[in-house]
């Protein structure tokens, strides 16, 4: 094959690409050398910080005498640093942002009022003199913490909660995996941790925050948090049960019926009792009066409730109902209390606990007064696993969330949604969020790539190639933009985030149990109350109706027996009367037959029936002869 001519465009392009690759390789090698040198320097600084932290001169001496492989000598560190500085140009311009863009970030996050420290700007390397912060007063403008699993969202949440509490702001968060409890225990220093925090200008020291532990329905270790079914409401309950919009509207009618008839819906058994009553013979007329509720729909809801309760959800409903004002507490020194809701016990029912969190937020919205803009929020509410809340949600449910998020700011409450990608949160909700902390996103599938591009499109213009940077972020790094004190978005900043000062693993179980036992709220919520409610009222009503029906049936039976007896008695009386009438008639007939005959006729008839001898003796001649004989014998005679 003949060689390509030198003027061939393909050859020129190949040579240009080769030169570019050589330049990139050289730059990468220089950057690697610089990174190695800085890592050695950071290790030395970390060892020194550790020695200062322990305060032991012997430890410092031991660190100084460590083998060179474990602890670089100062001269070696200085030589490596010098080599690195020679290989890579120093200053802001060495990274994706030029000096002007770095200055814009510095100015954009320089707030006069109190602020929450997020970390330091990363421009290839972190710049400790360019801190990234959130104004404390703007944390009630809500926020989003997003990122793939394992990118550091939980540690970001923990760091924010610690700082908010230190500024006197109460915090609520759901402890999904159980590892947020470490916020109550001072952290443990390590060389890696101290090197990292020193590199971003964080003066790290272990610290614990005042923490209160709660548990849904008392399942787990914590003060029980319960809600009444009436307080939970038909909208949230429909979301938990997975009802469609028709069934949801029917459930609203059931709640309306219960309110109208004074039937307190305390737990799920109360709601089941109402539905069972409405679908029974005793309540079918009232079911018809509800109009839009059919017996078949009521039956579907009743079945879903039974399945829901059989899964163990009935323990979350009852009394005493939790008062959300107990989340708004501080301690004597002014620090806010971090309230952690333990939910590992309902990990298999994510829709339940996410909806329960929404219930708590809705309760805050209903109960708290309007306060306007404050110097700091009254409460910051972290809504973890937020994608579970919006999955398969109805339009009414989404509308309720949007309204709550939009208006609760004026109640002094800030809400941070924690999820995997921004697309998990509806656009109307995202539009209400002032701060965004975006950890690494992964694009393994076409859908992931589409979501990544959609996420990039929601950020303000910046000097970053965000589609590339968002996939290259390390653990504990994020793209940050917040709302400034003036209400405008701050510049987009690649940020290495601060490390929490508490333990980055769960607090020992014994310590959690001791904290729960010592809680002043345990006496208030620890014992469940079972007062008269819809179940008892309807049971009594059905019993009374049953007793009345039984009494009515007994009365009807008695009346039937009495009627039958009366009928039979009447028949007997009639038969007797008929017999008497017949006897009387026969008697009268006989009287009529005998009353028309004379004595002569009777005598004649009698004589006619006499024998000849009798006739002879009774004849007048015989009587004369006999009279004469008698007078002759006795000397007497008839006078």
Q: What does the DSSP assignment read for 451-511?
A: HHHHHHTTSPP-SS-HHHHHHHPPTTEEEEE-B-TTSSBPPPEEEEEPPPSB-SSPPPHHH
State residue 65's pLDDT score. 40
State the CB neighbour count (10 A cutoff) for residue 120.
24
Question: What is the arithmetic mean of pLDDT over 178-183?
Answer: 88
Q: Whole-angstrom Cα distance, residue 386 to residue 375?
A: 27
State residue 179's pLDDT score. 82
Q: Whole-angstrom Cα distance, residue 237 to residue 258?
A: 15
Angle at 255 between CA 252 and CA 256, to 5 degrees: 85
Higher pLDDT among residues 261 and 44, named by residue: 261
- Is residue 202 pLDDT above 60, yes or no? yes
All structural domains of the chain, each given as residue ranges with its CATH number in brackets, are: 99-226+319-526 (3.40.50.300)
- Specify whether the CB–CB gap between 189 and 51 falls below 8 A: no
Question: What is the arithmetic mean of pLDDT over 600-615?
Answer: 57
State residue 290's pLDDT score. 76
- Is residue 634 pLDDT above 50, yes or no? yes
Task: Name the band, by pLDDT with cuts 50, 70 and 90, for residue 29.
Answer: low
State residue 51's pLDDT score. 59
- Report pLDDT digits (tens) over 415-468: 999 998 888 888 888 988 999 999 999 888 888 888 888 888 888 888 899 999
Least confident stretch, 263-267, 279-283, 457-461, 619-623? 619-623
- Report pLDDT digits (tens) over 279-320: 888 787 887 777 767 888 888 898 988 888 887 778 889 999
State residue 499's pLDDT score. 95
- Specify whether the CB–CB gap between 339 and 171 falls below 8 A: yes
- Specify whether the CB–CB gap between 146 and 420 falls below 8 A: yes
- Report pLDDT digits (tens) over 427-442: 888 988 999 999 999 8
Burial 402-417 (b: 16+ CB within 10 A, else e): bebbeebbbbbbbbbb
Give the CB-side neighbour count of residue 588, counting CA atoms within 13 A.
6
Mean pLDDT (the chain) is 81
Q: Whole-angstrom Cα distance, residue 345 to residue 176?
A: 10
State residue 326's pLDDT score. 94
- Report pLDDT digits (tens) over 58-80: 443 433 343 333 344 444 434 44
The radius of gyration of the chain's CA atoms, rounded to the nearest angstrom, is 51
Q: Whole-angstrom Cα distance, residue 59 to residue 44?
A: 14
Give the CB-side neighbour count of residue 148, counting CA atoms within 13 A.
14
CA dist list (Å): 548 to 329, 503, 561: 54, 66, 19
State residue 170's pLDDT score. 97
Q: Is 312 exposed, middle or buried (0-12, 13-18, 19+ CB in 10 A)?
A: middle
Tokens 């998020």 belong to: 405
- Is residue 94 pLDDT above 60, yes or no? no
Least confident stretch, 371-375, 498-502, 633-637? 633-637
What are the tokens at 505? 């693993």
Helix (H) or strand (E) holding 14: helix 9-54
Q: Is 541 exposed, middle or buried (0-12, 13-18, 19+ CB in 10 A)?
A: middle
State residue 175's pLDDT score. 83
Of 307-311, 499-503, 562-566, 568-572, which one has max mean pLDDT?
Answer: 499-503
State residue 49's pLDDT score. 53
CA dist list (Å): 519 to 141, 175, 216: 31, 18, 16
Task: Give the largest Cα separation in the chain, rounded.
Answer: 209
State residue 88's pLDDT score. 39
Residues in the chain, total: 639
Task: Name the band, by pLDDT with cuts 50, 70 and 90, for residue 597.
Answer: low
Q: Output phi, psi for 464, to 5 deg.
A: -95, 150
Task: Name the band, by pLDDT with cuts 50, 70 and 90, for residue 11.
Answer: low
């Amino acid at each position: 094959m003949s060689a390509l001519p030198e003027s061939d465009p393909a050859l020129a392009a190949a040579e240009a690409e080769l030169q570019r690759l050589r330049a990139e390789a050289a730059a990468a090698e220089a950057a690697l050398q610089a990174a190695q040198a800085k890592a050695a320097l950071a290790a030395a600084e970390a060892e020194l910080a550790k020695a200062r932290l322990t305060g032991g001169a012997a430890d410092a001496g031991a660190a100084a005498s460590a083998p060179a492989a474990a602890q670089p000598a100062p001269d070696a560190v200085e030589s490596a640093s010098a080599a690195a500085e020679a290989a890579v140009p120093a200053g802001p311009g060495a990274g994706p942002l030029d000096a002007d863009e770095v200055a814009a970030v510095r100015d954009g996050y320089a707030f006069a009022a109190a602020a929450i420290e997020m970390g330091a700007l990363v421009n290839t390397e972190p710049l400790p003199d360019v801190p990234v912060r959130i104004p404390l007063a703007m944390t009630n403008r809500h926020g989003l913490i997003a990122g793939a699993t394992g990118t550091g969202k939980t540690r970001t949440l923990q760091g924010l909660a610690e700082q908010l509490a230190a500024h006197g702001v109460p915090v609520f968060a759901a402890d999904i995996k159980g590892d947020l409890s470490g916020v109550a225990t001072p952290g443990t220093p390590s060389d890696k941790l101290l090197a990292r925090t020193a590199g971003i200008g964080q003066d790290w020291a272990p610290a614990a925050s005042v923490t209160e532990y709660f548990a849904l329905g008392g399942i787990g270790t914590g003060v029980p948090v319960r809600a009444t079914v009436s307080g939970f409401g038909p909208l949230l309950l429909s979301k938990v049960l997975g009802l469609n919009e028709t069934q949801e509207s029917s459930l609203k009618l059931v709640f309306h019926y219960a309110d109208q008839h004074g039937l307190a819906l305390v737990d799920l058994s109360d709601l089941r009792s109402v539905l069972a009553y409405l679908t029974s013979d005793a309540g079918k007329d009232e079911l018809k009066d509800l109009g839009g509720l059919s017996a078949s729909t009521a039956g579907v809801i009743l079945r879903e409730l039974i399945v829901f309760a059989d899964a163990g959800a009935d323990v979350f409903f009852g009394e005493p109902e939790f008062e959300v004002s107990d989340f708004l507490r501080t301690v004597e020194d002014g620090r806010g209390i971090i309230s952690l809701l333990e939910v590992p016990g309902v990990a298999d029912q994510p829709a339940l606990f996410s909806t329960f969190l929404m219930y708590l937020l809705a309760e805050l919205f209903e109960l708290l007064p309007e306060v306007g803009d404050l110097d700091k929020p009254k409460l910051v509410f972290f809504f973890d696993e937020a994608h579970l809340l919006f999955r398969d949600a109805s339009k009414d449910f989404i509308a309720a969330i949007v309204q709550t998020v939009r208006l609760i700011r004026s109640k002094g409450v800030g809400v941070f949604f924690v999820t995997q990608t921004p697309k998990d949160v509806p656009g109307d909700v995202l539009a209400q969020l002032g701060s965004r902390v975006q950890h690494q996103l992964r694009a393994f599938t076409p859908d992931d790539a589409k979501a990544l591009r959609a996420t990039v499109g929601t950020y303000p213009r910046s000097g970053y190639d965000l589609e590339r940077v968002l996939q290259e972020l390390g653990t504990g790094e994020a793209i940050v933009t917040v709302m400034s004190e003036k209400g405008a978005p701050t510049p987009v900043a690649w940020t290495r985030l601060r490390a929490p000062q508490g333990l980055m693993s769960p607090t020992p179980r014994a310590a959690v149990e001791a904290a729960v036992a010592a809680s002043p709220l345990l006496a208030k919520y620890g014992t469940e109350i079972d007062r008269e409610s819809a179940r008892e009222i309807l049971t009594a009503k059905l019993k009374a109706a049953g007793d009345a029906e039984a009494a009515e049936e007994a009365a009807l039976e008695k009346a039937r027996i009495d009627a039958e007896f009366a009928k039979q008695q009447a028949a007997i009386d009639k038969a007797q009367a008929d017999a008497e009438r017949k006897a009387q008639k026969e008697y009268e007939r006989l009287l009529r037959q005998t009353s028309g005959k004379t004595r002569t006729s009777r005598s004649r008839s009698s004589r006619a029936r006499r024998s000849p001898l009798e006739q002879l003796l009774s004849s007048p001649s015989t009587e004369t002869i006999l009279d004469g004989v008698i007078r002759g014998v006795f000397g007497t005679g008839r006078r």
